[in-house]
Amino acid sequence: MNSLANIFWLGIKDLRALSKDLMMILFIFYSFGISIYMQSTGAGETVHNASVAIVDEDNSALSRSIAGLFYPPYFQAAKMISAADIDRTMDKGLYTLVVVIPPRFEADVRKGRDIEVQVNADATAVQQASLGGGYIQNMVTDEVTRYRQQMQRTAGLSSDLVIRRAFNPNGTQSWFRAVVGLADQLSMLIIILTGAALLREREHGTIEHLLVMPLTAFEIALAKVWSSGLVIMIGFICSLLFVVQGVLDVPIAGSRGVLLLGTLIYIFATAAIGIFLGTLARTMAQFALLMMMAVMPMMMLSGGMSPIESQPQWVQYVTWFFPSRHYVGFMQAIVYRGAGLDIVWKEFVTVLVMGVTFLVMSLLLFRQSVATLR
């Protein structure tokens, strides 16, 4: 009972110290708010709101149907211009892409001839131009193929392959990036808070005060874990409700309770890593370097930036020991596919075992450092 009271009041002390650290509080607000929004809505691997103009020199049903393919959110509604206006409008930056449909376009399609469609791209908008050209090529090819099949110029397949997405039917990249960004910020912040809280005691000299008290290394470490974990859990919930679901309108297919339970387990495991790094380091500068070496691989190899299956085989074996890999895996399963506890419980247990292992290692190392101080 005394041990629980010690852990509680030590955690309260850490919360009071954090409440006086204005820069850390602002950093938490920024990470769980503005940073996730910017990461989700920033430039991605899709075309977004590209301005398009059409030069329709055929004025046929097929050319008009191609012009009707351009609509938000990928493109703005296509504007009709003449061939003489191409250079002038593109020099003014009015359009990123100009599609030129030649005369007798529909007639050539009907007769099965080779057809050409010219796409003029503003190369100063590098990403929009390169991706937009590929989009337009696929769109025109699909529309011409559909038209030829209707005209019975090609027999087509005996059956059509129809792909439907169970989650994110429009392929909105901000939905995917929001979930990954939330996991990345969670990993970074909990390690920073727990490690910095331990180093703050050493740099301010208060660690000596704790050592003369009837406290154990377990009580000191666990107090850092629960106090920092509480702050991060509150930030996670607020970010999930107000930023991810509120501003970005990302739907959650699974149970929020299961997601919060998995997040709580992951916070414990990651906080144990923060305690471990804080024990290894002797100064904040050393801790910052160790944190970069730990957090960056956790974020890059967790499966959020690139699928685990796309990584080299030996890297996949290494990432299995990263709690972030398992967290991103079951987080995506819950959010995207609506997985329940009966599906993700193995990942929960794996992360919990990793957290206990790191905490035991931290306590052993912390006791050694305490022995040297005494």
Q: Could you give the percent of the chain with pLDDT greater than 70?
A: 88
Contact 96, 78 (CB under 8 A): no
Q: Pseudo-torsion of CA 366, 367, 368, 369, nearest 10°?
A: 50
Query: What are 5-26's pLDDT values in tens digits?
Result: 888 888 888 888 888 888 888 9
Is residue 65 assigned to a domain? yes
Domain boundary among 99, 120, 150: 150
Whole-structure pTM over 0.85, yes or no? no
Is residue 275 assigned to a domain? yes
Are 108 and 205 within one domain?
Answer: no
Are 124 and 207 within one domain?
Answer: no
Are 203 and 278 within one domain?
Answer: yes
Is residue 7 assigned to a domain? yes
Domain boundary among 150, 179, 202: 150
Distance in angstroms (rounded) separating the CA atoms of residues 370 and 374: 6
Contact 195, 295 (CB under 8 A): no
Q: Find the DSSP H helices in the chain.
A: 2-19, 22-32, 34-41, 61-67, 86-91, 105-110, 126-150, 173-204, 206-211, 217-238, 256-280, 284-300, 313-319, 323-337, 341-373
Are 68 and 98 within one domain?
Answer: yes
Is residue 157 assigned to a domain? no
Least confident of 48-57, 161-170, 328-337: 161-170
- Is pLDDT of 229 > 80? yes
Distance in angstroms (rounded) separating the CA atoms of residues 122 and 290: 44
Query: Based on the structure, what is the number of domains in the chain?
Result: 2
Are 96 and 242 within one domain?
Answer: no
Are 77 and 30 within one domain?
Answer: no
Q: Taken in order 254, 255, 260, 262, is the CA torsion positive or negative?
A: negative
pLDDT of residue 157: 47
Domain containing 67 equals: 52-150
Domain boundary among 118, 150, 182: 150
From edge to edge, which strands make up the β-sheet containing 52-56? Answer: 79-80, 52-56, 97-101, 118-121
pLDDT of residue 4: 82
Are 21 and 87 within one domain?
Answer: no
Is residue 223 assigned to a domain? yes
Are 120 and 65 within one domain?
Answer: yes
Distance in angstroms (rounded) separating the CA atoms of residues 47 and 127: 8
Q: Taken in order 89, 94, 99, 101, is the CA torsion positive or negative?
A: negative
Distance in angstroms (rounded) separating the CA atoms of residues 140 and 90: 22
Which stretch of DSSP H or E encloses residue 252? none
Is residue 234 assigned to a domain? yes
Is residue 228 assigned to a domain? yes
The CATH number that applies at residue 135 is: 3.40.1710.10
pLDDT, mean over the chain: 82
- Is pLDDT of 212 > 70? no
Is residue 162 assigned to a domain? no
pLDDT of residue 238: 92
Contacts with 54 (C-beta within 8 Å, 6 or more apart), sequence order: 63, 66, 67, 70, 78, 79, 80, 81, 98, 99, 101
Are 293 and 185 within one domain?
Answer: yes
Q: Could you give the percent of the chain with pLDDT greater than 90?
A: 12
Are 58 and 204 within one domain?
Answer: no
- Is pLDDT of 151 > 80? no
Are 237 and 194 within one domain?
Answer: yes
